[in-house]
Copies of this chain bind each other. A is one copy, B any other.
Amino acid sequence: MREAYTDQLEQLAERLADMTGMVAEAMENATAALLQADLGLAEQVISGDQKVDDVRSSIEEQAYALLALQAPVATDLRTVLAVIHAAESVERMGDLALHVAKAARRRHPSSALPEDVKPYFTEMGRIAVKLATEAAEVIRQKDVERARNLEDEDDAMDDIHRHLFSVIMDKEWQHGVAAAVDVTLLGRFYERYGDHAVSVAKRTVFVVTGRMPGYGGDDDI
C-alpha cells in the first residue's frame, strides 16, 4: 500500500515535469513563429494549448484524489501541494506562449517585431526555453542547486527586458506606436514566463528543504 502511494507521488512529479517540457516546446515554437512570421507554427502552438490545460486538470485531479484517499502529512503533503501550485504556474506559462503565438498570427504575413528588436526576442526566447527545461529537470531530480541557477538566468531575462524598454522609449525609435505596443506586451509575456519558471523551481526547493526561498524577482514593471 505504502509503496503504491510513493509511486503515485513520483508519477505526479513526473507528469508535472512532462507538462513543463510541453510549455518549453510551446515557447520555443512560439518564438520561432514570432521571429519568422511563421503562421503554421503559430497555429500549432495555439491549438496545442488545450492539451496543456487538459494535463493540468488531470494532474490537479490526481493530486486531489491523493489528498482525499491517502491524507499525506509532512513532506508528502508539501509535495502534493507544491505540485498543485506548480501546475497552475506551468499552465500560465503555456498561456503566455499562446499569447506570443497569437501576436505572431495577428500580424501575419507581416512580422509583429521590427528587425532591430529581433535579437532581444531571440535571446529572451532562448532563456525562456532554458528556464522551463531546467525547471522540468529540477522537478525530476529535486536538485536544489540547479534551482538556484535558474534565478541567475531569470536575472538575465530581466536585464534584457529592461533594456528593451529603453530601446522602445528612445527618441531613435522609428517604428511607431503600434509596434511599440506589440513589443511592450511581448516583452512582458517573456518576462512573466521566466518568473513562473523560477516560481516552479522554488516550490520544488521548498519541498526538498522545507523552506521557501525569498520571493522577490517578481516583475517590477
Q: Which residues of A contact B (CB under 8 A)?
A: 53, 64, 67-68, 71, 73-74, 77-78, 81, 84-85, 88, 95, 99, 102, 165, 168-169, 173, 176-178, 180-181, 184-185, 188, 215, 218-221
Contact = CB atoms under 8 A, between A and B. Distances in A.
Copies in the complex: 2
Contact of A184 (B95, B99, B185): B185
Contacts of A180: 177, 180-181, 184
A68 B73 contact: yes
A219 B99 CA distance: 9
29 contacts: A53-B215, A64-B77, A67-B67, A67-B77, A67-B81, A68-B73, A68-B77, A71-B71, A81-B84, A85-B88, A88-B88, A95-B218, A99-B219, A165-B181, A168-B177, A169-B177, A169-B178, A169-B181, A173-B177, A176-B177, A177-B177, A177-B180, A180-B180, A181-B184, A184-B184, A184-B185, A185-B188, A185-B221, A188-B188
A78 B84 CA distance: 13
A216 to B, nearest CB: 11
Contact of A221 (B73, B99, B219, B220): B99
Nearest to A71: B71
Contacts of A220: 102
A138 to B, nearest CB: 20
Contacts of A168: 177, 181
Contacts of A218: 95
A185 B221 CA distance: 8
Nearest to A192: B192
A180 B165 CA distance: 12
A65 B42 CA distance: 44
Contacts of A221: 99, 185
Nearest to A178: B169
A48 to B, nearest CB: 16
Contacts of A77: 64, 67-68
Nearest to A170: B177
Nearest to A76: B68
Contacts of A85: 84, 88
